[in-house]
Amino acid sequence: MTIEKGNFGSIDNKPVEYFILKNKTGIEAKIITLGATLVSLKTPDRRGNFADIVLGFDDAKEYMNDTRYFGCTVGRFANRIANAKFTLDGKEYKISPNNGQHHLHGGKVGFNKVLWKAEPFENQSDKGVLFKYFSKDGEEGFPGNLDVRVTYTLTDDDELKIEYAAVTDKNTIVNLTNHSYFNLAGHDIENAYSYLVQHLMQINADSVTESDNELIPTGKFLKVENTHYDFRKPVSIGWKMGKGYDINYVLNKQSASELSFAAKIVELKSGRVMEISTTEPGIQFYTGNFLNGVKGKGGTVYNKQTAFCLETQHYPDSPNQPEFPSTVLKPGETYRHLTVHKFSVQ
Ligand code: GLA
């Protein structure tokens, strides 16, 4: 086994472990058992210089206190559920409100604040870690015992794959994602804000789900054409920033749950390129509007709009929006989600 393993601090006297996956290019992904969280990701620029391109912290306790969801696995339900309630099979479920009266990213103790069991694995061209978590019936108000698996795999083709699977023993709802904040110039680049201008992004979506001022979908789909949401062709992220983005894109798909191209980002100065493909119907594009001087790795201070998230997922508030693709999971079915991040330079 060539996967490095070590201690990343502790939570309630329980050790948090880290694993470092390294491929033949030298790309390194470091993941911890708290929240099955990606804590660092080092990739080369066009000259072969490596930088850590995700925001994060140096210690488990800082992740435990984090309210920004740096790099973590989000669940049982990513994004907002209006008024923290939904109806399933005629029964109303109240889940924990943690964003005003709304539910956000799994509630008070979401999947990002729990310890996962980890099993590292490797074969000729892949290295990875399988994380397991058992979420009890009623946790944060959700029905059903949920057996969850998240697998991170780093391939020699410079892909970081995140694969999710879940089964339940009662009808329930599931929406899992990863909440990494990226800056392809490096998480600790000086004047990080100005670097977002040098990120050209393309999103394979003709529309977004319109949302109200509390970021709850209105149920309407908005065409991106002639709006500042239009990323169908590569455009600078920072150039159009304004108040920043926090919006769900409806990905163009030939068929539901196919693995298809979602987004591509090129950082002009370093030449780093990240291409995202996913089986999910949506992607939340968020520009770190709530970052306000968060002290992160190596003392780096993360300010507003100095990084971006592209969270592959089902649309926000799907349980209350009959027109949106369903997030219901039933006994006997398996929830599956695959997202691939492919790295290259240009
Ligand atoms: C998601 C949401 C944002 C915000 C962040 C966490 O990206 O869309 O509104 O809640 O998570 O800070």
Q: Where are the domains of the chain?
A: 4-345
% of the chain at pLDDT higher than 90: 95
Question: Which entry of 311, 314, 337, 341 is annotated as an active-site residue?
Answer: 311
Report the predicted TM-score, pTM, of the whole model to 2 decimal places. 0.97
Judging by beta carbons within 10 Å of its beta carbon (0-12, 13-18, 19+), is residue 287 exposed, middle or buried? buried
Candidate of 105, 111, 292, 314 to mutate for ligand 1, largest count of ligand atoms within 8 Å of Cβ: 105
The answer to whether the CB of 308 is under 6 A from ligand 1 is no
* DSSP class per residue in 262-286: EEEEEETTT-EEEEEEESSSEEEEE
- Closest C-alpha to ligand 1, atom 6: 68
Task: Tell me the per-residue pLDDT of 62-119, one tens digit each, with 9 for 90 and over.
Answer: 999 999 999 999 999 999 999 999 999 999 999 999 999 999 999 999 999 999 999 9
Question: Which entry of 103, 179, 199, 341 is annotated as an active-site residue?
Answer: 179
For residue 104, the ligand 1 atom closest to its alpha carbon is 10
Q: How would residue 14 be classed by pLDDT, with cut points 50, 70 and 90?
A: very high
The answer to whether the CB of 284 is under 6 A from ligand 1 is yes
Task: Tell me the per-residue pLDDT of 195-234, one tens digit each, with 9 for 90 and over.
Answer: 888 999 999 999 999 999 999 999 999 999 999 999 999 9
The answer to whether the CB of 50 is under 6 A from ligand 1 is no
Which of 122-126, 193-197, 239-243 has the highest average model confidence (pLDDT)? 122-126
The answer to whether the CB of 59 is under 6 A from ligand 1 is no
- The span from the CA of 333 to the CA of 166, in Å, is 9
Active-site residue 311, yes or no?
yes
Phi, psi dihedral angles at 120 (to 5 degrees)? -70, 150
Phi, psi dihedral angles at 244 (to 5 degrees)? 100, 165
For residue 309, the ligand 1 atom closest to its alpha carbon is 7
Active-site residue 105, yes or no?
no
Query: How far, in Å, is the centroid of ligand 1 from the Cα of 346?
Result: 30
Strands 103-104 and 4-11 come out as: unpaired
CATH architecture for segment(s) 4-345: Distorted Sandwich (2.70)
DSSP label at residue 172: E
The answer to whether the CB of 177 is under 6 A from ligand 1 is no
Task: Tell me the per-residue pLDDT of 264-310, one tens digit each, with 9 for 90 and over.
Answer: 999 999 999 999 999 999 999 999 999 999 999 999 999 999 999 99
The answer to whether the CB of 104 is under 6 A from ligand 1 is yes
- Closest C-alpha to ligand 1, atom 7: 286
- The span from the CA of 83 to the CA of 108, in Å, is 15
Of residues 108, 246, 103, 265, the one with CA closest to residue 175: 103
DSSP element (H, E) containing 17: strand 14-22
